[in-house]
Amino acid sequence: MRWNFDNSYTRLPGPFFARVLPTPVHSPVLVLLNRALAGDLGLDVDALQGPDGQQMLGGNLQGPGSEPIAQAYAGHQFGHFTVLGDGRAHLLGEHLAPDGRRVDIQLKGSGPTPYSRRGDGRAALGPMLREYLISEAMHGLGIPTTRSLAVVATGERVFREEALPGAVLARVADSHIRVGTFQYAAALDAGMGVPGQQGSSARDAAGEAGGADFTRALADYTLRRHYPELAEGPTRYMDLLEAVIERQAALIANWMRVGFVHGVMNTDNMTLSGETIDYGPCAFMDDYDPATVFSSIDRQGRYAFANQARIGQWNLARLAETLLPLLHPEPETALAQAEEAIGRFPARFSAHWHATMRAKLGLGNEEAGDEALGDALLEWMQRTGADYTNTFRDLSAPAAMTSPASVNAASGDPEFEAWHTRWRERLGRQPGAAEDALQRMRAANPAVIPRNHRVEEALAAAVETGDLGPARRLLDALIDPCDERLDDSEYRQPPAPEQRVYQTFCGT
């Protein structure tokens, strides 16, 4: 299969992981294979599809150089601190791609680990297909994300509220280092015991001295792996914090560009690499409403569409806390520096969001009134229940440059026409051709997103009748979602009232 494993995470101190093999499954059958991704990773696509490939992707067979581990981490879930860890995932190893990239190859749903708590270590087919679909859609939309290499049906049942077909997802990521991994390291430094090991404190287990050794080991590792240009500098831990803040600010603005609501922005679901991770109850907004929440478990709207930047900052503050002992020997100075860095997040996020909105409106230069122009459109959309994706995409067509009527949702609304006049005047005040503005807009405003009703329809066909056709067709449309050929795609259609999806479920 041409695996080229070179494992570095296992060189961290012992308490960061547990060596544990996936639990074999009854009869692994490949349901989806991401041939394009496999090719990019230098893997042998035919071998992956063959009997050994299916066995390996199902967790029954270890490839050469694979050293399966479950990673330990902690995290704030809906604001409450918990010690977690991969309860149903195995990191098979780090694969070196032909282009030199190092990626984690992880199986999810591959059986229990020392961190499973009361869980069965398994996953159902529907949620694993959902992660495959949405993560690949995010990649197509140009948003940093973990990827999906394959979904394998296990031939076993998992029991949730009912018996469901089981599956294993093969996930590819720059790494699985989370804010929660740093929280775990800090807890070890504070003398917490190692989960799964009775009686011994982490320091005994690792044979290390006190201080911030676990956090330092993890921070140094993260710097080398994701921010090598910062790894040797005298202020490297502050530089790391600032780099992560920057990537997360950019990421969340990018989510909002396409109407994405993550739904479970717990600190264990925020990566140090800046990739989107953990596609549980996430969903895309149809009509624009900043209060949009889909997740059935998010009863307070903590992770609502327009709350995501604020929660991002809260999560980053948890990261900053873990780094305090590394920032400065004087605790008060360390705290002041961390607070200052976290305090800069709103401005960094706003800069990314305003740049995003300018691109969505076709603006290539900056004017004082741009923010108000974008806000006025969003307010109009919220008031009229206009479709977020389609309104921006309709505006990205040549006809919209002259006629407000080409925006479907607006049909003859005088308030929209007034906004449209403002927008056209603003476009007229920037240098460059109208075609440049259109190009900017077409790149920022996708024609197709994985609308919830189409995702649910594809998953139902796959799970209930074994028909992967709808999922494959949806995936095809999402490879290049800004392509002009998709302007009259059936996937642009918002849900009819009876098709609307109001709630999504983790399905864990």
- Contact residues toward ligand AMP (CB under 6 A) are 84-88, 116, 119-122, 264, 268-269, 278, 280, 506, 508
* Alpha-carbon span 84 to 78, nearest angstrom: 14
Please give the backbone phi and psi of residue 310, each rounded to the nearest 5 degrees, phi first: -60, -40
Q: Which range, of 120-128, 276-284, 293-301, 409-417, touches Mg ion by CB under 5 A?
A: 276-284
CB closer to Mg ion out of 269 and 271 = 269
Q: If binding is defined by CB under 5 A, does position 213 make contact with Mg ion? A: no
178 token code pair: 């989370």
* Whether the Cβ atoms of residue 476 and residue 136 lie closer than 8 Å to each other: no
161 token code pair: 């509220």
Binding to Mg ion in span 144-163, by CB under 5 A: none
Q: If binding is defined by CB under 5 A, does position 131 make contact with Mg ion? A: no
CB closer to Mg ion out of 315 and 356 = 315
**Min. distance of Cβ 28 from ligand AMP in angstroms?**
18
Q: Indicate the SS3 state at residue 367.
A: coil
Q: Which of 104, 174, 213, 268 is catalytic?
A: 268
**Min. distance of Cβ 118 from ligand AMP in angstroms?**
8
**Min. distance of Cβ 122 from ligand AMP in angstroms?**
6
CB closer to ligand AMP out of 1 and 282 = 282
CB closer to ligand AMP out of 74 and 377 = 74
How many CA atoms lie within 13 Å of 357's alpha carbon, on the beta-carbon side? Answer: 18
* Alpha-carbon span 345 to 171, nearest angstrom: 30
Token pair 């049942």: residue: 157
411 token code pair: 């049909």
* Alpha-carbon span 463 to 29, nearest angstrom: 14
CB closer to ligand AMP out of 255 and 288 = 255
**Min. distance of Cβ 303 from ligand AMP in angstroms?**
12
- All residues at 6 or more sequence positions from 74 whose CB lies less than 8 Å from its CB, including other chains: 81, 82, 83, 84, 180, 181, 183, 184, 187, 268
**Min. distance of Cβ 160 from ligand AMP in angstroms?**
9
268 among known catalytic residues: yes
The Cα-based distances of 497 to 75, 205, 281, 447, 501 in angstroms read 38, 58, 21, 21, 9
Q: Which of 131, 174, 278, 394 binds Mg ion (CB under 5 A)?
A: 278
Q: Which of 242, 482, 426, 427 is nearest to 343 (CA)?
A: 242
CB closer to Mg ion out of 84 and 486 = 84
* Whether the Cβ atoms of residue 165 and residue 463 lie closer than 8 Å to each other: yes
Contact partner, 120, from ligand AMP, Mg ion, none, Cβ < 5-8 Å per class: ligand AMP
Q: Which of 269, 292, 322, 389 binds Mg ion (CB under 5 A)?
A: 269
Q: If binding is defined by CB under 5 A, does position 276 make contact with Mg ion? A: no
Contact partner, 487, from Mg ion, ligand AMP, none, Cβ < 5-8 Å per class: none
Q: Where are the alpha helices (DSSP H) in 58-178?
A: 125-140
Please report, as ranges, the residues that interact with Mg ion according to CB under 5 A.
269, 278
> What are the catalytic residues?
268
